[in-house]
Amino acid sequence: MRCPYCNDEDTQVKDSRPTEDNSVIRRRRSCIQCAARFTTFERVQLRDLMVKKRDGKKVEFDRDKLARSIMVSFRKRPFEDERI
């Protein structure tokens, strides 16, 4: 995390705690260089998984499509569906 006062990238986390609704983590940090203290609020950012195709096109990840492909590849093998 970069210090907002001196732009140094070396900071330490002094205190970390979740907010009331547990959607954000509040961190108290201090800068090693200038000894300034500041607070950051960190939140999880969920992104959709994308698959990059050979032609460079990007499509959204489809778990069912992957499962079907695995089942096809094991069709003539001595495996039970539950093990796969």
Domain residue limits, the chain: 11-43
Residue 71: phi and psi, rounded to 5, are: -65, -40
pLDDT tens column, 3-52: 999 999 999 999 999 988 888 999 999 999 999 999 999 998 888 899 99
pLDDT tens column, 43-53: 988 888 999 99
Helix (H) or strand (E) holding 26: strand 24-31
pLDDT of residue 58: 95
Any idea which of 40-44, 74-78, 80-84 has the lowest mean pLDDT? 80-84
Measured distance CA(46)–CA(28) in Å, rounded? 24
In the block, tokens 């070396």 appear at 10
